[in-house]
Amino acid sequence: MTCARDLVLYERRGPVLPRVAAVHDLCGYGKCSLGIAIPVLSCAGIDVCAVPTSLLSAHTKFADFYMHDTTSMLGAYLDAWAKEGIELDGIYSGFLGSAEQVSYVRRLWREQPGALRIVDPVMGDGGKKYRTYTDEMCEATRALVAGADLLTPNLTEASILTGLPYEGQNVDEDFVARMASSLLEMGAKCVVIKGVVREGESVIRNYVACDADDAPVEVTGELLPYMIHGTGDLFASALTAAVFAGKPVVEAVRFAGTLVRDAMRITPAQPDYELRGVSFESVLGEVTALLD
């Protein structure tokens, strides 16, 4: 099997823009999901086709938000795409509005057999599920592991998917390797376990694995002394952008970590940043530079 360090998932074809479906929610206020994915992928020269899994007035960190589940419209939405003969180079899925929506992601996979499948299983963090995610939804999301060309869970999500116990962020490489191996054995082709932070250290670690028999490749970055909402979505979107720019997965992970750090550095200067989320707009030039 190809070493994780050398794995390239997409070959860019000259001036032809890759077309990628972004299957995420859309928030009117707050930095996350499609509000991040569309500009980040677009800056990497990607033709982004949005599939909104839910509409929210604001993201779920706000005390009060309205959420509209779009499940009932997705069948007709994808029917219309099929009638138009839309062809995709990639399918990048994230936050889902219901357990049933997993079947629509899998429908896209069936109808677009040549598309690269990137799955960011947005289910929780810090050992807890997000408020809108039920046990049924988490169970349904496990069905996406087997078809993923690239799977990007944090430790909480990896625990939910594998059934292995969550042991916090202060875990060693052997623990991460067991998590990654379990996900690979479930059928994922390449796994990025993100956001590992060990006690007393000033670095954040991401791990890339594409062979259960090999140790994951560690990619480290600077750990800033504060957390900001939306950085997971920014990481996964930047990683997807770099993959579709033709970068090897390990290089793409390093790029995504650097972009998140740079965005986090400017975020505290913005009003209401602790609630509104990561301010990525000023670093989009770094994404555009992927094509240089």
> Is the confidence at residue 177, as pLDDT, over 70?
yes
pLDDT above 90 as % of the chain: 92
H/E stretch holding 88 reads none
**Would you tell me how many other CB atoms lie within 10 Å of the CB of residue 97?**
21
> Is the confidence at residue 1, as pLDDT, over 50?
no
Q: How confident is the model at residue 24 (pLDDT cuts 50, 70, 90)?
A: very high
CA angle 108, 117, 12 (to 5 degrees): 115
Q: Is the pTM of this model over 0.85?
A: yes
Q: Which domain holds residue 127?
A: 19-286
What does DSSP assign to residue 60? T
H/E stretch holding 131 reads none
pLDDT of residue 3: 61
- Averaged confidence pLDDT in the chain: 95
178-237 pLDDT, tens digit per residue, is 999 999 999 999 999 999 999 989 999 999 999 888 899 999 999 999 999 999 999 999
Q: Do the domain assignments include residue 2?
A: no
Using a 10 angstrom Cβ sphere, with 0-12 exposed, 13-18 middle and 19 or more buried, the burial of residue 62 is middle
Q: How confident is the model at residue 2 (pLDDT cuts 50, 70, 90)?
A: low
240-261 pLDDT, tens digit per residue, is 999 999 999 999 999 999 999 9
CB–CB of 247/290 below 8 Å? Answer: yes
Number of domains in the chain: 1
Q: Do the domain assignments include residue 10?
A: no
**Would you tell me how many other CB atoms lie within 10 Å of the CB of residue 269?**
9
CB–CB of 237/226 below 8 Å? Answer: no
pLDDT of residue 61: 86
- Amino acid at residue number 154: N
**Would you tell me how many other CB atoms lie within 10 Å of the CB of residue 262?**
15
CATH number reported for the structural domain that contains residue 23 in this entry:
3.40.1190.20
